[in-house]
Amino acid sequence: MSERLTAQMQFLQEVDRLKSIERSNVLLDHSRHENSGEHSWHAALFALVLSDDAPKGCDVNRSIQMLLVHDIVEIDAGDHPVDQGHDAQEIARKEAAAAKRIFGILPKDQCDQITALWCEFEAGTTPDAIYAKRIDHLQPILQVLMAPSFYPGHREIAAHTLRVGRAKRLAHDWPTANAFCEGLLSGAPANKNVLTQKLGFLAEADQLKSVTRASLLCDGSRYENSAEHSWHVMLWAMVLAEYAPQGCDVSRVITMLLLHDLVEIDAGDAPVFSDQAVAKQEAAELAAADRIFGLLPGDQGPAMRAIWDEFEAAQSPDALFGKALDRAAPPLQNIASGGGSWIEYEVTWSRFEARVAQKIRAGAPGIWDWLAPRARDMLKALPHNRP
């Protein structure tokens, strides 16, 4: 198992690089360009929230998994803005080579499975892939049009993409979404309905990309944000499903991890090694959950809030596994970056065990067994822990 898990962890470390692939889209507040990791998270959230509009026969859980992996090839092949001319055959060649290299880090059975999933998305012919493609085309357009003001040149790009570019089929395949976009382009006030409420929630969720966490990227270049972390830990669940406890539904775990940090939009991140008041943070997160999930229409908000509550309670097999992965991902990043935020917080092995070990052991003991000796060796080597 150790050799197999090592390969899986090497893959999860490698895909951390997607957080550094810059896209042409900017955040709704225009503060910076979006990266491909946080875009993948936001697209997955779009797919979940708008699932009532998925095509007949679509398994939305598979569409979400496609969106988790669809841009990983950009680590090698780069992003290709829709407003620039490209050689489609050359892009396809580069992306196929990237898929072979990156997915090839995984054990062969998983390499074959994820490659097939990525190829299915690229082909765009199954109901699952059709829905994932629609979401991938719609999300960047709405990120332009739902901003308080238009970023220079982006309104024209969004209009071209919607009307004659890759999203032109939305007029036929998803007329309500297309009409909403056309309304935003014309400046007409949107009628309040179920779709506009859902899209308002998704626009609010864009703020998660601006919540800074205490963990560095694997290359140590910067601190990560909560949106790209959510994407990464969802991928952890997908790749490490075989280490889940008995009775665990990994598709539900992925949904939990998709939603688990939304409350940080209001409450902020609570670093695991910080000594801030736990009760105060819990109260802030509960209030945030009330407000943020309350933006959704009908019973969708309470249903997603129930998933978040289950994750927080950490009692069910799904929640235990989700919590374990949420705790396990940052140590891998700290190890990869030569100590990362462990240096800042002067973390010792005993403190690491006290604050991290229990949750990982409870939901994924096999992952803890792999991680513990590596974390111990790194922590002992850090300057503040040397004799």
83 compared with 76, residue with greater pLDDT? 76
Residue with token string 């080597």? 381
pLDDT at residue 274 greater than cutoff 90 = no
Q: What is the pTM of this model?
A: 0.97
Q: Rounded to the nearest 5°, which phi and psi values hold at 261? A: -105, 5
User: Minimum mean pLDDT among 79-93, 209-223, 314-328: which range?
Assistant: 79-93
pLDDT at residue 235 greater than cutoff 70 = yes
| pLDDT grade for 1, boundaries at 50, 70 and 90 | low
Over residues 77-91, mean pLDDT: 87
| pLDDT grade for 277, boundaries at 50, 70 and 90 | low
Query: What is the per-residue pLDDT across 167-209, written as a single tens digit (0 to 9) for each?
Result: 999 999 999 999 999 999 998 777 789 999 999 999 999 999 9
Q: What tokens were used for 221?
A: 């270049």
Same CATH topology for 2-207 and 211-385: the answer is: yes
**Summary mean pLDDT of the chain:** 95
Contact in structure between 326 and 356 (CB atoms under 8 Å):
no
Domain positions in the chain are 2-207, 211-385
3-state secondary structure of 175: helix
Q: What is the DSSP string of 59-103?
A: -HHHHHHHHHHTTTTHHHH----TTS---HHHHHHHHHHHHHHHH
> For 211-385, which CATH superfamily applies?
Hypothetical protein af1432 (1.10.3210.10)
User: Minimum mean pLDDT among 18-22, 174-178, 268-272, 311-315: which range?
Assistant: 268-272
What is the percent of the chain with per-residue pLDDT over 90, rounded to a whole number?
A: 91
pLDDT at residue 386 greater than cutoff 90 = no
Q: Indicate if the alpha-carbon torsion angle 360, 290, 223, 344 is positive or negative.
A: negative
pLDDT at 275: 73
pLDDT at 171: 96
Residue 169 CB: number of other CB atoms within 10 A? 13
Integer Cα distance of 289 and 263 in angstroms: 6
pLDDT at residue 272 greater than cutoff 90 = no
pLDDT at 278: 66
Residue with token string 């197999």? 4
Query: What is the per-residue pLDDT across 293-312, written as a single tens digit (0 to 9) for each?
Result: 999 999 999 999 999 999 99
Query: What is the per-residue pLDDT across 27-63, written as a single tens digit (0 to 9) for each?
Result: 999 999 999 999 999 999 999 999 999 999 999 999 9
pLDDT at 280: 82
> For 2-207, which CATH superfamily applies?
Hypothetical protein af1432 (1.10.3210.10)
Over residues 144-157, mean pLDDT: 94
Q: Indicate if the alpha-carbon torsion angle 124, 135, 26, 37 is positive or negative.
A: negative
pLDDT at 190: 72
Contact in structure between 364 and 243 (CB atoms under 8 Å):
yes
User: Minimum mean pLDDT among 15-24, 152-161, 271-280, 329-338: which range?
Assistant: 271-280
Contact in structure between 327 and 314 (CB atoms under 8 Å):
no
Angle 23-27-33 (CA atoms, 0-180°, nearest 5)? 35
Q: Rounded to the nearest 5°, which phi and psi values hold at 34? A: -80, 155
Size (the chain), residues? 387
pLDDT at residue 84 greater than cutoff 90 = no
Considering only CA atoms, which of 263, 285, 287, 288 is closest in space to residue 276? 285
Over residues 251-271, mean pLDDT: 96
User: Minimum mean pLDDT among 104-108, 212-216, 276-280: which range?
Assistant: 276-280
